[in-house]
Each structure stands twice: as C-alpha cells, then as structure tokens.
Structure 1
Amino acid sequence: MASPRAFGGHDADRPQDSGERRLYNPYHDVQIPYRTLYDLPTSPEFLFQEESLAQRRSWGENLTYYTGISYLAGAAAGASVGLRRAVLSAEPGDTMKIRVNRVLNSCGQDGRRISNRVGIVSLMYAGLESGMVAARDTDDWVNSVVAGLGTGALFKAANGPRSAAVAGAIGGLLVGAAVAGKQVMKRYVPI
C-alpha cells in the first residue's frame, strides 16, 4: 500500500489508530478536493474589483434599503394604530362583518398614511447621506448627523423656518443618538 503522504491531503483525512481498531475513512484514497468544495469562504465575493474597495453600500442600495425597511416598518406601525382605533370605535350593536370591515379600512388607511410619511423621510435621509459621502469623500458619523439634520429641516420646510429648524434639530439629535448607540453596542455587546 502506498504511503498516505504520497497523495497529499490533510491529517484529518487519514485514518487514525485508536488502540487496536482503525477508524474507517471513506475518503482516504479518493483524490477529490472535497474540503475546497465544502469549506466556503465567509467573506463576500465581488464581481468587480472596485466594489471590493468600498466598505459601504452604494447610494442606490442605501436608497432602496432605507426606504424599503422604513416603509414596511411604517406600514406595520400604521396598521397597529389603525387596529387600535378600529377596536376603540366599535359599537355594541355591530355585526362581525361590520367590525372586520372597520378594522380593515382603518388599518389600511392609517398604514398607508404612516408608511408613506416614513418612507419619504427615509428617502430624503438616504439621498442626503449619500450626497454627503460623495461631497466629503469620507464615511463617518458627521455625514449621518448632517443628513438627519437636513432631513428634518427639509421635511418640515413647508411649515415655516421655525418649524424646519426645530425638526432639523430633532432629526440631528435622533441620528446622533442612533450613531452613538450603535458604537456603544459594537463596543460592549459581543455578537
């Protein structure tokens, strides 16, 4: 029989002697690189080299991600608000059909209203943040806070300059708190 070292392979592929018994390894004499087939890389693979240099999502991916997640979250929140409103407005003499109709109408109306507002806010935020990254050519917390400030001010700009300034300050503070919370979570919560 040939030496196992002549065919290469790993030590884990060779049969081990344990006392008087020898463990059976069905892949001992097979020359298939099965380890390379099943030990897949954990890092992402990129089609183009330029994509691997960037450490963040592109502006289109950010726009899609933020808007989609926010719209869905707004729809869920709006549906729950509509459900609460429909349950509270139920009358004792209503049939089940009328109650279900009231719940569906209220959930749909409030869900649509809130999800559209939250989706628009996140669309503005993603656009401003991507614009800041492109303008400053760096990706740090300043871009996020300025985008939050600009989003709040832009969203309430039609209500006057005072309302826009207050909304901008609130937006900047909320995003700043979120960025700080994310850094604290990264540092103190092992994931």
Structure 2
Amino acid sequence: MAYIPKPSDHNQDDHDHNRRLYNPYQDLQVPIQTLYKLPTSPEFLFQEESIAQRRSWGENLTYYTGIGYLAGAGTGAGKGFIDGVRAFESGDSMKLRVNRILNGSGQTGRQFGNRAGVLGLLFAGMESGLVAVRDTDDVVNSVVAGLGTGALYKAAAGPRSAAVAGAIGGMVVGIAVAGKQALKRYVPI
C-alpha cells in the first residue's frame, strides 16, 4: 500500500518557496501598482448625473414596482397559508392539507403581489412626473404622488372611494417619509 501524504504533512511555507510567481506584465514596463487601481467614487457619463442624488425615473419605476410586488406576494402568501390551515377538515390526508396550503398561498400571494406591484408602478410614475414638472425633489412630490396613486387606484369604485383611498395613500407616504427622515437623523447606520 502506497503512502499518500496528508495536507497537514506539508508545511505551506515550504510549498510556496518551491514555486516562482509569474508576472505576465513584466515585459511591458508598466508599474504593477497602478495597473489595478480603480476609482472608488461612482462614475457618471454626464456631469448632470453626478449632481442628482436620486434614482432615475426608470430605476425608480423598477424599484417601486419590484418592492411592491415582492412585499405583496410575501404578505399574500402568509395570509393564504393561514387561510389554508383554517380550511383543514378532520378527515383530510396530509397530501390534501399540503395542497390546500399551497393553493391558498399561491393564489392569495399572486393577487396581493399584483395589486401592490400596480400601486408601486403608479406611485413611481406619478412621483417621477412630479419631479420632472416641479423641477425639485422634496417631500411634497412623494405625498402628492401617494395621494394620486390611491385616488387613481380606486377611481373606478366611485369618487368617494377614490377620495378615501387618496387620503390613505397620502397619509401612508407621509408617515413613511417622516419615518425615513427620523431614521436617518436618529439611527446611526
């Protein structure tokens, strides 16, 4: 039987001394220290982009739609799970119980996710439009966009529902913006 050395039998320093490091740039007369020094600050194609401290309208649209869909889908899946568990009957097999949970989670998660994604899409579009029209980026844009999003989302249900949903949307966004500002001010991150 042949002896196979274990990795612990070799000293790593002895192993490294037996090798010669290869430098592919040695014949180019390039100082290797400056070859891979990359900038740490963000790079912008246009100077105007470096002035703006916010996402572009396309990034905003993608961000709010995606966050809305994921949050809604997660919430809906949780609600569907609870509804599936509540729908258990005494004679159900394990296979039927799992099926109830999966059906409830999938269906409710999909519905909530789509609704929240549409809300995010409407909000992002309105907020980006307000920033472009007013040429300022402040809290007013976000609150008005929340108000408009709620009103537009429930517009088909009638003017009273649209007004209530608009007020709720404006309040929710106002609370979220105030919470974000308080978090920035009082919580060191």
> TM-score when scaled to structure 2?
0.79
Deviation of 1:44 (Å): 1.7
Aligned-pair identity (%) = 70
What per-residue deviation string (whole Å, max 9, x for no partner) do you get for residues 103-134 of structure 1? 11111110011001101111100000000001
CA spacing shift, 1:35–1:184, aligned 2, 3 Å: farther
Give the partner amino acid of 1:164. Answer: A
Unaligned runs of 5+ in 2: 1-29
1:165 to 163, 166, 185: 163
Q: State the distance in 1 between where 2:97 and 2:40 align.
A: 51
CA RMSD of aligned residues (A): 1.8
Q: Deviation string for 1:142-168 (max 9, x for gaps)?
A: 100000000011111111111111111
Counterparts of residues 1-191 of structure 1 (less than 5 Å): 32=31, 34=33, 37=36, 40-191=38-189
Q: Which residue of 2 aligns with 1:25?
A: none
What SS does structure 1 have at the residue aligned with 2:100?
A: helix
Task: Decide whether aligned partners of structure 1 residues 189 and 172 sit closer, same or farther in structure 2, where only a CA change above 3 A counts.
Answer: same
1:87-115: CA deviation from partner (whole Å, max 9, x where unpaired) = 11111211111111111111111001100
The one-letter amino acid of 2:101's match is V
Rounded to whole Å, the distance in 1 between the matches of 2:94 and 2:46 is 58
Distance 1:42 1:170 in 2: 42
Q: What TM-score do you get using the length of structure 1 for normalisation? A: 0.78
Mapped partners of 1:49, 1:33: distance in 2:
31
Provide the C-alpha distance between the structure 2 equivalents of 1:142 and 1:50, rounded to a whole number of angstroms: 23
Secondary structure of 2:36 counterpart: helix
State how far apart, in whole Å, the 2-side matches of 1:33 and 1:172 are.
56
* Unaligned runs of at least 5 residues, structure 1: 1-30
Q: For residues 32 and 70 of structure 1, what CA distance do their matches in structure 2 show?
A: 49
Task: Name the SS of the counterpart of 1:114 in structure 2.
Answer: helix
- Match of residue 9 from structure 1: none
Partners of 2:104 and 2:143 in 1: CA distance: 35
2 CA distance for matches of 1:158 and 1:112?
22
> Per the alignment, in what secondary structure is the counterpart of residue 94 of structure 1?
coil
Residues 90-99 or 111-120, more deviating: 90-99
Amino acid at match of 2:177: V
Higher relative contact order (CA 8 A, sep 6+): 2
Count how many residue pairs are aligned between Structure 1 and Structure 2: 161
